[in-house]
Amino acid sequence: MKTSIVWFKTDLRLQDNETLVKAIAQSDEIIPVYCFDESQFEITDFGFQKTGSFRAQFLLESLLDLDKNLRALGSGLLVVKGNPEVEIPKIVKQYKATKVYAKREVSFEEKRTEALVQAELFKIKCELETFSTSTLYHAEDLPFSIKDIPDIFTNFRKKTEKESLIRSAFEKPSQINSPKLDVLDLPSLEDLGLKITPIDTRAAIQFKGGETQAIARLNHYFFESKSISEYKETRNGMVGADYSSKFSAWLALGCISPRFIYQELQKYEQQFGANESTYWLVFELLWRDYFRFMMKKYNVKLFQQAGIQNKEIPSNQHNTNQLQNWIDGKTGVDFVDANMIELKLTGFMSNRGRQNVASYFCNDLKLDWRFGAAYFEQQLIDYDVCSNWGNWAYLAGVGNDPRGNRYFNIEKQATDYDKNKTFRNLWLNS
């Protein structure tokens, strides 16, 4: 009997999951495992939780759904808590597994954990095989090597669109052979050191974790409401569920893949026609790819104050009062405050809001951008390490922005995007 472990991380899905498909094809039986990595629930050097309660709640819902979907195919999910380099080898020994299949990581801490796990598995004669499952374009299909990827997004996009193909999504497995697995045993938020925080009822959307919900959202946004056909016109909206796709939270945990979204989008275009809006969703998925490839290229530099440009930016002395007022939505700038209150009470903020509050943080308050990025890491349900740190570095002027200093005129932005103060009234009149 060839037994393998499938180590789930931020790929909590059955559709288009190469890791799972390959493990099933090459093994007699598999054990799906998720490890609550204790380092993900610590306080960071910036004084914030690495994972806040909104995202942790979404993660728990996603694991519940994954277990349900796995059991429907004859398997289930084994959940452990601790350090992956300790816990994964334990399971390998318990089930006499010869191979661990997992998603390939690109960012600094995740790669370090992957290397530690691999070293421990090597000692017990078990192989770790990883697959790239997070992007629209596969890294191997790009028209340049990672080290030669253009630092300007437009150059990357044009060449990639012209010279690369998007691979087909993998089919969902029809059955999985696993030994009998115990009933799912999930930790509670309290076990993870967090408090239950209900999402404010004014939230643009009530996110619920899991692949089932991700696909339901896609079907709603594409086929039921056809909102995708107006995406380019509405994507800078700020109030309501359908001004943008809101796929980001499910993408961040891998409850849905960019390729699966692309495949469904093609079906939609065949049925209802393609336009600039349907293309624009692909354009946004490309940005997401880009930040992931940049993380692969520059790695730890994207977490440093001087960024990939090694550029010293004059910043004020660390000012805890200014930082706290920004967090609490008490800066006195109504557009910034409304967005920050939304983030604090819901774990979500529109793309337009994110750019404005980050610009204000870096350019007006002149605070160290990494504190802003670290607060977003704690707070956002849709936190994605590459997009978050890549975007913050970009706005701070130390990332991939060819223009250097990207300053937002917040008053003008508020007038352009919240003309009737609908958004500000919603969040400031509590």
* Locus of tokens 């819902």: 61
Contacts with 122 (C-beta within 8 Å, 6 or more apart), sequence order? none
Tokens of 51: 């994972």
**Other residues' Cβ atoms within 10 Å of the Cβ of residue 365:** 18
**Dihedral of the alpha carbons of 202, 204, 210, 216, in degrees to the nearest 10:** 120
Tell me how far CA of residue 161 lies from CA of 130, 156, 165, 283, 288, in angstroms.
26, 9, 8, 10, 14
Q: Please give the span between the terminal C-alpha atoms of the chain, in angstroms, as a whole number.
A: 61
- Counting other chains too, the contacts that 405-411 makes at CB distance below 8 Å and 24 or more residues apart are 405/363, 406/359, 407/359, 407/363, 408/355, 408/356, 408/359, 408/360, 408/363, 410/333, 410/335, 410/336, 410/356, 410/359, 410/360, 410/364, 411/335
Amino acid at 112: R
pLDDT of residue 7: 98
Closest CA to 329 of 408, 238, 430: 430
Q: Environment class of residue 353 by beta-carbon count within 10 Å: exposed (0-12), middle (13-18) or buried (19+)?
A: buried
Tokens of 195: 């408090």
Partners of 128 in the β-ladder = 100
pLDDT of residue 246: 97
How many helices and strands (H and E) does the chain possess?
17, 5
- Cβ–Cβ < 8 Å for 211, 256: yes
Q: Environment class of residue 411 by beta-carbon count within 10 Å: exposed (0-12), middle (13-18) or buried (19+)?
A: exposed
| Spatial distance between the Cα atoms of 260 and 254, rounded to a whole number of angstroms | 11
pLDDT of residue 404: 63
pLDDT of residue 400: 80
Q: How many CA atoms lie within 13 A of 122 on its CB side?
A: 6
Tokens of 407: 């300053």
300 DSSP 8-state letter: G
Sheet with 127-131, edge to edge strand ranges: 78-82, 29-37, 3-8, 99-103, 127-131
| Spatial distance between the Cα atoms of 305 and 384, rounded to a whole number of angstroms | 19
| Spatial distance between the Cα atoms of 185 and 78, rounded to a whole number of angstroms | 8
Report the predicted TM-score, pTM, of the whole model to 2 decimal places.
0.96
Mean pLDDT split into 10-residue runs, the chain, 430 residues? 97 98 98 97 96 98 98 98 98 98 95 97 97 96 95 95 97 97 96 95 96 98 97 94 96 98 98 97 97 93 87 79 97 98 97 95 93 98 96 90 76 95 93
